[in-house]
Amino acid sequence: MNGLHLIADLHDCRCPAQRLLDVSWLESYCVDACQQHGLTVVGQLFHPFTDAQGAAAGVTGTVVLAESHLAIHTWPEVSGVTLDVYVCNFSGDNSCRAQALFDEMIATFDPTRLEKQAVARGQLQPTAR
């Protein structure tokens, strides 16, 4: 399970506000970005939310990767995005691909304030039987 987990909270994003509401654009962008950075898409699910009046209210999406996943949640009411990219390094080191994807996505949403973490995930030791 040796891998890299990248997590970010993007605040006051300066991207066009519609990007945080448009489920079709977000899904297409996320899938394309994963592929462009050499990651293997095996599935995706994006869900749009609505408020009490039925107006668009954000999107949650996940791209399932052979290497692990990308998850995104948009918060248009505060121009925010939460971002999660995890890759395992089972068949090779995917850390550079994950970092490039993460950096591109942050640039795309253009936050005025950013909180981010990188967590190196450890290797499991075989269990004695």
pLDDT, one tens digit per residue, over 55-89 is 989 999 999 999 999 999 999 999 999 999 999 87
pLDDT, one tens digit per residue, over 90-112 is 778 889 999 999 999 999 999 99
Task: Considering the candidates 30, 37, 68, 79, report the single residue annotated as catalytic.
Answer: 68
- Residue 15: DSSP 8-state: S
* Mean pLDDT, the chain, integer: 93
Q: Among all chains, which residue has been given the structure tokens 């609505």?
A: 50
Q: Is residue 128 a part of any domain in this protein?
A: no
- Give the CATH number of the domain where residue 44 resides: 3.60.90.10
- What tokens does 1 get? 């399970």
Task: Considering the candidates 5, 11, 15, 73, report the single residue annotated as catalytic.
Answer: 73
Q: Which domain holds residue 94?
A: 6-57+64-121
Q: Is residue 97 a part of any domain in this protein?
A: yes
Q: Is residue 1 a part of any domain in this protein?
A: no
Closest of 125, 129, 107 to residue 10, by C-alpha: 107
Q: Is residue 129 a part of any domain in this protein?
A: no
Q: Is 73 a catalytic residue?
A: yes
Task: Considering the candidates 88, 91, 95, 96, report the single residue annotated as catalytic.
Answer: 88
How far is CA 114 from each of CA 80, 92, 100, 121, rounded to the nearest angstrom? 10, 29, 16, 22
Number of H helices, E strands in the chain: 2, 6
- Give 121's pLDDT tier (boundaries 50, 70, 90): confident
Q: Is residue 104 a part of any domain in this protein?
A: yes
Predicted confidence at residue 126, as pLDDT, reads: 52
DSSP-assigned letters across all residues of 77-97: GGTEEEEEEEEE-SSS--HHH
Q: Is residue 89 a part of any domain in this protein?
A: yes
- Residue 105: DSSP 8-state: H
Q: Is 68 a catalytic residue?
A: yes
Number of folded domains in the chain?
Answer: 1
